[in-house]
Structure 1
Amino acid sequence: MTLDYRWLHDTVRDRFDSDDAMEAFLPRPLTPDELKQQGDDRYLSAMSQRVFRAGMKHSVVDAKWPAFEEAFWGFDPEKLVLLSPEQIDGYMNNDRIIRHRTKLQTIPRNAQFILDIRQEQGTSFGEFIANWPSADIIGLWNLLSKRGARLGGRSAAGFLRLVGKDTFLLTSDVVARLMAAGVIDQTPASQRDRQRVQDAFNALQRVSARPLCQLSAMISLSINPRGGLKFQTQRY
């Protein structure tokens, strides 16, 4: 089964005063060229930020991120891949950052992951991300989960949303609507169920020509009306 786009559009449109208001509210991904132009330091920074956000209030992590940028030399992968255990120990004394040893240890590991992709693909990591087809975004989730450090679960999609790569998110509201539509019958943890979700989004995209992130937001809003119109990127 799948979702009917016309029903979805009309249901969400009823929550707004105008077409312009709805369109202004929906998220927009970066273009492939914009993704390619971002330095690989920005991808490592976003990976690390997503790792630290997991299990923590996002605003707390975000408020400290300028201190992280300074402490970790702007997240240059070629520098941070060389971080030693002793240097990680030193960061545990820095009260300007979040002192979580296990998460700190992911920084050189994810730096190595980025450098490995660069070597294998002969491109920047940003170009690799930009070129990945949205019709198989769950394939990119799987790669990030398998080869990145602490990028499993919702973290892969959360990282992609942070850097501007088009993706849907499997939030509770999105899952609830997909279950109500008969696309899945449980939270999609298996590859089979995630493929069913991907297929449903692909079908909606063919009809609507909208990016995945907008469809994800619309599906969420069809379940949960906007509370005070405050858009939260990671919710949709």
Structure 2
Amino acid sequence: MTLDYRWLYDTVRKRFESDEAMEAFLPEALTPDELKQKGDDRYLSAMSQRVFQAGMQHSMVDAKWPAFEEAFWGFEPEKMVLLSPEQIEGYMKNDGIIRHLTKLRTIPKNARFILDIRQEKGCSFGEFIACWPSADIIGLWRLLAKRGARLGGRSAAGFLRLVGKDTFLLTSDVVARLMAAGIIDRAPTSQRDMQVVQDAFNELQQQSGRPLSHLSAMLSLSINPRF
């Protein structure tokens, strides 16, 4: 089964008063050059922010994030990787941040992940992210889940969306539309099912020329007009 982009566009367009209103609503991804220009401290900050968002109100985490930036000296990976277990435990006394020890412990681990990628690939982490092909975005999700700390499940895609890398999100509405179209028959969890979803997005992208972030939002809007 495949999804017809023209049907998807027409269905979503009805939710808006004008073409301009629809286009303005759709989430934009950064260009590869913009992703490369981001410092690796920004990637570690976003990883950490996404880790804390999981299971918590995003607005609460976002409101606390300036305090995190100050407490962790701007999240420079070279500094964060040196944090000792005792220093991490010391942050539990800081009432300006969210005191969740398990999540705090991911910061030096993800700093090490970033530095390892830099050493292995001979480029910045931002360049690594920028060069990953959108046609295999689920491969990047797998790598983040395998090598990053607490970046499995929806957190990989959530992190990529935070930094501006083009990705789709498997929200309940997106899954519902894919199921209604007969592309999948359940929420995808296996690598096989995830590849089927990736193939469906690749087909839509070929039909439309739109980024994955647009297509993901449009699929959601086709189910839920209040997306």
TM-score if structure 2 supplies the norm length? Answer: 0.99
Q: 1: distance between equivalents of 2:150 and 2:9?
A: 35
Residue 139 in structure 1 maps to residue 161 in structure 2:
no
Residue 123 of structure 1: how far off its partner (Å): 0.2
CA deviation profile, 1:158-182 (whole Å, cap 9, x unmatched):
0000000000000000000000001
Q: How does 1:1-236 map to 2 (within 5 A)?
A: 1-226=1-226
CA deviation profile, 1:70-90 (whole Å, cap 9, x unmatched):
000000000000000110111
What is the match of residue 233 of structure 1?
none
Q: 1: distance between equivalents of 2:87 and 2:96?
A: 16
CA deviation profile, 1:75-130 (whole Å, cap 9, x unmatched):
00000000001101110000000000000000000000000000000000000000
User: Any stretches of 5+ residues in structure 1 without a counterpart?
Assistant: 228-236
1:100 is aligned with what amino acid?
A: H
Note the aligned Cα RMSD (angstroms).
0.5
Q: 1: distance between equivalents of 2:146 and 2:176?
A: 27
User: Any stretches of 5+ residues in structure 2 without a counterpart?
Assistant: none
Find runs of 4+ consecutive structure 1 residues off by over 3 angstroms: none
Q: 2: distance between equivalents of 1:95 and 1:70?
A: 13
What is the match of residue 234 of structure 1?
none
Q: 2: distance between equivalents of 1:222 and 1:156?
A: 24
Q: 2: distance between equivalents of 1:150 and 1:2?
A: 33
CA deviation profile, 1:182-221 (whole Å, cap 9, x unmatched):
1100000000000000000000000100000000000000
Residue 57 of structure 1: how far off its partner (Å): 0.2
2:74 is aligned with what amino acid?
A: G
TM-score if structure 1 supplies the norm length? Answer: 0.96
Residue 226 of structure 1: how far off its partner (Å): 2.3
Q: 1: distance between equivalents of 2:152 and 2:225?
A: 29
Q: 2: distance between equivalents of 1:185 and 1:112?
A: 38
Q: 1: distance between equivalents of 2:100 and 2:2?
A: 42
What SS does the corresponding residue of 1:92 show, helix, strand or coil?
helix
